[in-house]
Homo-oligomer: A and B are copies of this chain.
Amino acid sequence: MEFFDSEAAWLDFLRARAPFPDGFRAATAGLSFTPAERPSDQTYSMNLALITADPAVTSFAALFTRNRFPGAPVIIARERVKGDALAGILVNNRISNVCSPTGIGDAERLTRELARYTGGRSERYLSVSTGIIGWSLPLEPMVEQLPALVNGLGSADALDTARAIMTTDGFPKLRAASIGRARVVGVAKGAGMIEPNLATMLVFFFTDARIERRRLQRSLTSAVESSFNRISIDGDQSTSDMVLAMSSCLYDVDPAQFDSCLQQLAAELAQDIVRNGEGTCHVIRATLRGLRDERTAAVLAKGVINSPLVKTAVYGNDPNVGRIVAALGDIAGNQGIELDAHDVTITIGAEKVFGDGVFWLDKHKENRLCSYLRQAALDPSLRGYPQHDRTVDIDISCGSGSAATTVFGSDLSHEYVSENADYRT
C-alpha cells in the first residue's frame, strides 16, 4: 500500500485515480436540517452523493448486513438487486434511516423523485443511508437537492464521492486500478461499528470491465470474505452494511485478473477502514496458523483482537501478553474449539512470548516489546498520508493444521470512548 510524506502528495495520488470508469457520473451536495427527535434546535449538516450509470447497467452484485434489524435502504436494495438493471445510487450520511416510522416510504419517495428528474425508473435506483440509527431522514430538504444533483452529474469524481459519504471517517477512502483499458474504482466509508461478516460500512465498486453479472457476484463475495470480513474495530455489525459493485461492461478483461484486482482493492479499502477506526492509535494484525479450517482461525483471531483487555493493553504500550493467552483460551473454551496450550506458539513482532505451554518472558524482552508497541503507535505529529503503515503483529501458531487467516483490528483508546460517548452532538 502507498503512503506519502505530505498530504498534497497523497491527494495528488488519489486524484489521479478518482475519475469514474466510463459509463458512470456523479454529483454531490450539502444541506442542513434540525432533527425532529432532538431536544435542542441544533442544526445538523448532511451530504448527498449521487452516482449514476447511463445507460443502466445489467451487471451488478451486492452483499448486505446480517443484522436482523436492517435499515430501510437494505430492505429495499435486497429486492431491487433482484431486478434486471441498476441506474444509480443516492447516498446520504448523518442519518441511517433504520426502523424509522416513515423509513421505507422515505427511501421510496427519494428514488421516485430521483427517477422523475433523470427520466429513469425508480426501482432501478437505490437510496443508501449511513449515520445515526433511530432518527428519520429530513426528507423535504433532501428532495429539494435532487434537481441540482441530477443537473450536476459529471461534476464530482470518486474522491468527491468518497468525501461526501464520510461520517466519523478521518479521511476519504478511495482505491483504484486498471486492467488494460478497463478500470475498477472503489470508495468506502466506515470507522466504527466495524465487525463481522461485512464490516459495518458502505463500499461501492464501479468498473467498466466486461464481467457478467453472476461472475461479478462471485468475485465480490470472494473479495469481501478475505477483506472486509477480516477486520474488526468494535465487534459491532451495523444495520446498514452494504457492499455494491456495478459494471458498465465496456472493455474486455481476463476474469481471473479482474478477480485478483477486486480482491486487492477490497483488501486495501479494508485496511484503510481499520487505520481510520474511531480513536485507533495502534493497528493490530493478528495471524492465526495451524488450524484445521479457516473459519475457526478467524473466530480465534477475532476473539483476540476484540478482547477489551488486549486492546487497552496495546493502547497503553503495555506488552501484557497474558491477556492474549487469556483471550485465546477464553474464546476457544467457550466456543468449544479444541486447543492445547502445548501446541501454541505466540510471537509479538520478532519476540517469541509463549511456547510449549508456558510464557517465554524476561525483563530484556519486556523492554523490547514496550519499544515495539511504542514505535507502532500512530503519532499525529509524525504520521504520513493516509496514515503510517505500522502494525502490531501478533502471530499465533496453534498446531499442524494447514488453515491460516489474518485479521486487522484496533486498540481501545480514550479517543474511542470520547468519540462514542456523545456521537450525536
Contact = CB atoms under 8 A, between A and B. Distances in A.
B421 A325 contact: no
A366 B329 contact: no
Interface stretch (A24-32, A268-276, A382-390, A410-418): A410-418
A167 interface: no
Interface string A320-363: 11110111111011100101010010000000001001110111
A363 B134 contact: no
B358 A39 contact: no
A70 interface: yes
Most buried by B among A69, A316, A354, A362: A69
B98 A326 contact: yes
Interface size class of chain A, counting residues whose CB lies under 8 Å from the partner chain: 35 or more
Contacts of A326: 67, 69, 98, 133, 193, 236, 238-239
A136 to B, nearest CB: 8
B39 A367 contact: yes
A330 to B, nearest CB: 4
A38 interface: yes
A323 to B, nearest CB: 7
B68 A333 contact: yes
A101 B358 contact: yes
Interface stretch (A155-163, A212-220, A249-257, A304-312): A304-312
Given A135-B359, A236-B309, A313-B420, 5 more contacts: A69-B341, A99-B325, A197-B334, A236-B308, A414-B418
Interface of A: 36-39, 65-70, 96, 98-101, 103, 132-135, 192-193, 196-197, 234-239, 306-309, 312-313, 315-316, 318, 320-323, 325-330, 332-334, 337, 339, 341, 344, 354, 357-359, 361-364, 366-367, 370, 412-414, 416-418, 420-425
